[in-house]
Amino acid sequence: MNHSRRKFLQISAITATVLVNNNTLFAQDISKQNHKSTYNSYKNQYNYMQGDVDKHGRFKDYDIWTNDGIVTRENLNSSYLQLSTDKPDFRPRSETTQSQHSIYMYEKDRLLYPLKRVGNRGEGRWERIDWDSATMQIAQNIWSLMVDSDKGAKSILVQVGKALMGESRRASGVRFANQLGAVLKENRGQNEEIKLDELYGEDLIVLWGYNPMESNIPDAHFIQESRYRGAKVITISPEYNQTARCSDLWIPIKKGSDEILTINLIYEILSSDSQKVEATRYNKSDLKEYDSRFTQQLTSISPMVVKKLAKEMLDSKKTKIICGNGYKSQQNIGYLKSLLGIDDKSAQKDIFQFLSDFDGRYRARVDGDFEQEMAIIMASSIYNKKPKEFKAEFLDRVKFIACIDTKMSESAMQADIVLPAQSIYESWDIYKSQNSTDKLLYSKPAVELKNIGASKDEWSIFAKIAQNLEFIANKTENLEFSKPEDDTNYTTSGFHDLSIFYQEYTNRDDLLNPLGDDELAYNLIKKKMDSGVVTADVQSKKVSDMESIPDLKQSKPDFPYSFVFKKSKWSRGVNYSASTTLLRLQRGEPVAVISVMAAKINGIKDGEYIRVFNDKGEFKVMAKVSSSVPFDCVIMQDGWENFMFTQRAGYSEILSQNSENYVNIERVI
Amino acid sequence: MKKRQLAMVIDLNKCIGCQNCTVVCKTMWTNKKGKEYMYWNSVETIPGRGYPKNWQDMGGGFNADGSLKDGKIPNMEKEYGIPWEYNHDEIMSAKEFKPEIKPTWSVNWDEESGGGEFPKDNYFFNLPRICNHCSKPSCLAACPHDAIFKREQDGIVLVDMDKCQGCRYCIAACPYKKIYFNPMLSKSEKCNFCFPLIEKGLAPMCASDCSGRARFVGFLDDVDGQVFKLVKRYRVALPLRADFGVEPNVYYIPPFESPPKYNSKNEIVEGSDRIPMDTLEKLFGQEVFDAIKTLRNEKKDGKSELFNLLTAFRHEDMFRVGVDVS
């Protein structure tokens, strides 16, 4: 076969040469050709995918194509006004994980029906139950705790994840927590107010522990376009990532030494005679031990580089310094910015608060140390990136856990009742764009979209729990207990009236009625935003004092490699960590990235399996050998769930309560 | 009908390796049985082995004398990697979630691994690839059944599904290995440049949805278009592996600004480039030296038309698909 093919190719080569030379390689008039099958198959495929245009749904900047009630794909269709003709516009605003949701939403890990645990927690034995039964059990647990004067609302946790939800869906859980006076925990991104389009026009952009080329993909183009305009981009990060690659200078800082470099820079800036430096209460002699000659060992950065960085900052007319999650302390960097006269704005208010509050009548507990016995976890990966002790303690203490999620996540796996939620293409929601347009976006399910299992949107789910709670409270034998007392910090009347709980929860006829017309709600909110009623208080921060100066003496860790999390561009938290489409764009399973030198020293080859271990525990993972990471780091993306690792033991095994974790590695034979 | 050629220019400085192009192509065209391993669009990391693995060493294309160069059909397991499936339905039973076969290779295996020594001169960049819709397509020349044709009106190369007999000579002959065998249909399939969209005057999805705004699409004879200007006027957009002899129609703006290297004292080596020129020369030929020189000179200018063009202030300016210059 191989021989004949070669022979054929030799013969056909002569033919091809003749054809090419005669310029007859092009097909003749296409209309005379019979390529119907090709045309029809691809056009039919396109038309099938597109389905009925009149029935399309919407999700932010995407049209959601459906055919016969099934989502076929998401098709980008964004419209943004160009804010200025000399600034690039915002389109296309596409994102990798988003572009495959249409496939993943039908994956077999979707939760289809309410489930009740019948085995031990985490054992994976479930019984299918109906919505009434599931929500009644949750309501009963809430009731029991609320009417127990020793426990009350403070013993109930409502954990609201950011997940992929917008402001409306998120508000359903927050409102429920407010009304109960429960303990509310929310996972909200730290960098939500970073607007990358505002970088366009700056002369110097310093990206510190921030990797927008992987964590803010839709707006990352503004950085390269800023460079095309003449801006200098400097990235400070331990590893050479996509953002470092797209920079004019990359400063490979030793993991965890950002604050040392910050003070080092402050020292250099104070040492200059630049007029730019604003009056300060410190002078260079206060910080002399932070001379870069003394700090190089801690930061790995040579004095020459620090001086250059300081000079760039002093010489630049317009500078922006953006610190990402990789930079822990904000105080000293704020002081550095103030020193340079860099305007550091921050939005102070949750502009969608009005969706979930009760005009101050009820308020959830957001601060303080409370011991909860019950938890409602809504789209939150509560155990991810936490030490295993956290999970053990939580499961030991919290006697009843209800989890609302779209798929069988690690959080759902440990729950007592699991409630299936709709995914982002299946219900209404409201979002604000993370750029200067402050555009209000929405999601809207397609017309006649077939429901996946018995899943529901979160407003309906909480309304159903509220309805059952109200039902319990109105039972004759319960009526006298239906107004449990609480601190007036959390309810202005001094009690939560459970007998009208459903009525109060759903009474949002002015803005958002979970059982009503969401399009009307969207339009009302948009009107409020357009008229300026709902705006964030943008404040300029001036930091006049430094935080306590870090000790330069570093204790030597017991293990040689710093274990570092990298924000996953593939899973957005844990949300898409089980997507086949996206896993095939990685290595199909969790990987730990190690340096070429660490691989050599430990006799590890790319693709082999390693033990990552310390005195707390260990886990097994595939090694990826890379020239882009420092010798002393083991880097993992942060979206992996425990059940994706061998024996369901993931990186929780080696994490400690401290923020810094050190490990060793060893090849698994 | 006048013969015309659509082309794509990809700015490698703006490509951030997000693979959104790969995913939108996958959801539109290859999300079906038999096509799991097909990536009509892929984004590789350079240095890296690519997809299929080591495709640059698999032959195909034309010899200098115009004869077809012998080529290899990639091995499914070793060079594409069998597309693994998962036990999603077992997650709720507390089973380990894992691929059914051990992953050995895939489309983005070498992501960000790079080359060089950290932190002195390590480097990487991304290389998006689609079918090049070549002006001298060796796949077409190798097909014994006349099943591959090139459209006159836009130069898009397509497989005639009626005529294709699944002999796979086209796969051996394509030097870019961007034509795939569909085992379910026993036919070859490849990027169709989203021709149903082109016929509506719209750009291919990999270009219109490119998050980094890195891809321009237009006709090579449209003198007012960005593609013409980048390829013909400024000559900063270069074909990939022109030495394969197939006259590809996807062009690349080479990466021309990488962070400087460090010396052994961790001091900046001023004026140095992390990306070795021989790497770029291998991919884009000797012309890359002039292209980079032009890019750097124009950027110094500050008000360069070239950089306004590469910035693309309005997204729609990146695509001139429906222009008729006849």
> pLDDT digits over B59-107, tens only?
999 999 999 999 999 999 999 999 999 999 999 999 999 999 999 999 9
pLDDT in tens, A378-427: 998 999 999 999 999 999 999 999 999 999 999 999 999 999 999 999 99
- CA-nearest of B311, B158, B220 to A226 is B311
The CATH number assigned to the domain holding B117 equals 3.30.70.20
Residues B39 and A41: their CA atoms lie apart, in Å, by: 18
Separation in Å, CA A324 to CA A26, A98, A191, A317, A629: 53, 22, 7, 23, 18
- Asked if A30 and B153 come within 8 Å (Cβ–Cβ), the reply is yes
CB contact at 8 A, A236 and A207: yes
Residue B1: inside a domain: no
User: How big is the CA angle at B44 (ends B22 and A605), to the nearest 5 degrees?
Assistant: 125
Residue B295: inside a domain: yes
- Taking contacts as CB-CB distances below 8 angstroms, the residues of chain A near B135 are 25
**What's the mean pLDDT in B305-312?**
96
Residues A401 and A420: their CA atoms lie apart, in Å, by: 14
CB contact at 8 A, A601 and A528: no
Residue B221: inside a domain: yes
- Taking contacts as CB-CB distances below 8 angstroms, the residues of chain B near A650 are none
Residue B325: inside a domain: no
- Asked if B265 and A302 come within 8 Å (Cβ–Cβ), the reply is yes
**What's the mean pLDDT in A538-562?**
78
A180/chain B closest Cα distance in angstroms: 31
Q: What is the structure's pLDDT at A626?
A: 98
Most confident of A162-166, A328-332, A549-553, A637-641: A637-641
Single-letter residue type at A411: S
A296/chain B closest Cα distance in angstroms: 10
Residue B53: inside a domain: yes
Most confident of A7-16, A337-346, A568-577: A568-577
Residues A305 and A303: their CA atoms lie apart, in Å, by: 5
pLDDT in tens, A282-299: 778 888 888 888 899 999
CB contact burial A378-413 (16+ within 10 A = b; e otherwise): bbbbbbbbebbeebeebeeebebbbbbbbbbbbbbb
Its sign, for the CA torsion A615, A619, A620, A623, is negative
Q: What is the structure's pLDDT at A592?
A: 98
- Taking contacts as CB-CB distances below 8 angstroms, the residues of chain B near A625 are 113
Q: What is the structure's pLDDT at A438?
A: 79
CB contact at 8 A, A422 and A157: no
**pLDDT band (50, 70, 90) for residue B305:** very high
Residues B31 and B42: their CA atoms lie apart, in Å, by: 14
- Asked if B144 and A12 come within 8 Å (Cβ–Cβ), the reply is yes
Residues A166 and B325: their CA atoms lie apart, in Å, by: 46
* Poorest-pLDDT segment among A149-158, A338-347, B67-76: A338-347
- Asked if B152 and A29 come within 8 Å (Cβ–Cβ), the reply is yes
CB contact at 8 A, A651 and A612: yes
- Report the chain A residue with the minimal C-alpha distance to residue B299: A228
DSSP secondary structure of B26-55: HHHHS-STT-TT--SSEEEEESS-TTTTTG
- CA-nearest of A172, A175, A178, A164 to A456 is A172
Residue B94: inside a domain: yes
Number of domains chain B is built from: 1
B43/chain A closest Cα distance in angstroms: 10
**pLDDT band (50, 70, 90) for residue A218:** very high
* Poorest-pLDDT segment among A137-151, A548-562, B277-291: A548-562
B142/chain A closest Cα distance in angstroms: 6
Residue B201: inside a domain: yes
Q: For residues B250 and A1, which has the higher predicted lDDT (pLDDT)? A: B250
- Taking contacts as CB-CB distances below 8 angstroms, the residues of chain B near A123 are 94
Partner residue opposite B141 with nearest CB, options A13, A108, A630: A13
**What's the mean pLDDT in B184-193?**
97
**pLDDT band (50, 70, 90) for residue A13:** very low
Question: How many other β-carbons are positioned within 10 Å of the β-carbon of residue B127?
Answer: 19
Domain coverage including residue B43: 6-320
E runs forming strands in A298-452: 319-323, 344-347, 374-378, 400-405, 417-420, 429-432, 440-444
Mean pLDDT of all residues belonging to chain A: 88
- Taking contacts as CB-CB distances below 8 angstroms, the residues of chain A near B273 are none
Q: What is the structure's pLDDT at A287?
A: 86
**pLDDT band (50, 70, 90) for residue A332:** confident
Is the pLDDT at A115 greater than 80? The verdict is: yes
**pLDDT band (50, 70, 90) for residue A26:** very low
Q: What is the structure's pLDDT at B194?
A: 97
Phi-psi region of A498 (alpha: psi -120 to 50; beta: other; left: phi over 0): alpha
- Asked if B112 and A242 come within 8 Å (Cβ–Cβ), the reply is yes
Q: What is the structure's pLDDT at A539?
A: 67
Is the pLDDT at A57 greater than 90? The verdict is: yes
Q: Which domains, from first to last, does chain A contain?
A: 115-188+352-421+456-530 (3.40.50.740), 196-346 (3.40.228.10), 561-667 (2.40.40.20)
Q: What is the structure's pLDDT at A78?
A: 86
- Report the chain B residue with the minimal C-alpha distance to residue A230: B302
Residue B326: inside a domain: no
- Taking contacts as CB-CB distances below 8 angstroms, the residues of chain A near B66 are 13, 16-17, 20-21
